[in-house]
Chain A
Amino acid sequence: GENVEQHPSTLSVQEGDSAVIKCTYSDSASNYFPWYKQELGKRPQLIIDIRSNVGEKKDQRIAVTLNKTAKHFSLHITETQPEDSAVYFCAVYRGSNYKLTFGKGTLLTVNP
């Protein structure tokens, strides 16, 4: 099955700095890559996603880049704020088995 590796598992930054989280996947047929943010005890919420026919997507302070050849994609958060503190999960969708496979998450802490 699909194997999704997410790094780092924890990330601490100062307010205003940038944060980058990276995920690698194993199946070259995977074609959809969402990122979810989960605050403590809450539901995961979609923050950005990208499909395999696009290399980069931006939404204000958040961007995702995809390298299909190397089979990795990254979440970039610029000008971080304390409210960005949460666990971030990447996920990979493989159409051949209709499954979304999640990484193990990154705990991001933004220090004021």
Chain B
Amino acid sequence: DGGITQSPKYLFRKEGQNVTLSCEQNLNHDAMYWYRQDPGQGLRLIYYSQIVNDFQKGDIAEGYSVSREKKESFPLTVTSAQKNPTAFYLCASSYGLADTQYFGPGTRLTVL
């Protein structure tokens, strides 16, 4: 899991602004994921990508967007349409969708 990086570690945003979270991996994994974690909750899937130029909505995709132009990168944009964006965001990757997922260190987003 040391091959997955996320930046920044902390991010502050004003209401009404879009913000993009970075996720990079050098594990040669095909699949990548974005999860949201709120206090006392499990991880909830936002988007996932099985392969370059393909991605699918997870359980809570509203107000978020992603792209997968490179195998190594899967950025997440939190748009102003997301009603309650303050949370801990975790990126993960795996060889395939049925394989073990490894997590990045996370980005803590706070909306002011």
Interface residues of A (CB under 8 A from B): 1, 4, 6, 32, 34, 36, 41-46, 49, 89, 93, 95, 98-100, 102-105
Contact = CB atoms under 8 A, between A and B. Distances in A.
Contacts of B75: none
A93 B98 contact: yes
B100 to A, nearest CB: 6
Contacts of A42: 105-106
A82 B105 CA distance: 23
A98 B42 contact: no
B61 to A, nearest CB: 12
Given A45-B1, A99-B58, A34 B43 contact: no
A103 to B, nearest CB: 5
Contacts of A93: 98
B42 A43 contact: no
Given A1-B59, A43-B106, A100 B41 contact: no
A43 B45 contact: no
A36 B58 CA distance: 20
Contacts of B103: 36, 43-45
B95 interface: no
Nearest to B42: A102
Contacts of B97: 98
B85 interface: no
Nearest to A32: B98
A63 B98 CA distance: 21
B51 to A, nearest CB: 12
8 contacts: A32-B98, A45-B103, A89-B43, A95-B98, A98-B56, A99-B58, A103-B42, A104-B41
A67 to B, nearest CB: 21
A38 B99 CA distance: 19
Interface in B1-58: 1, 40-45, 48, 50, 56, 58
Q: Which of B43, B101, B104 is packed against the most chain A CB atoms within 10 Å?
A: B43
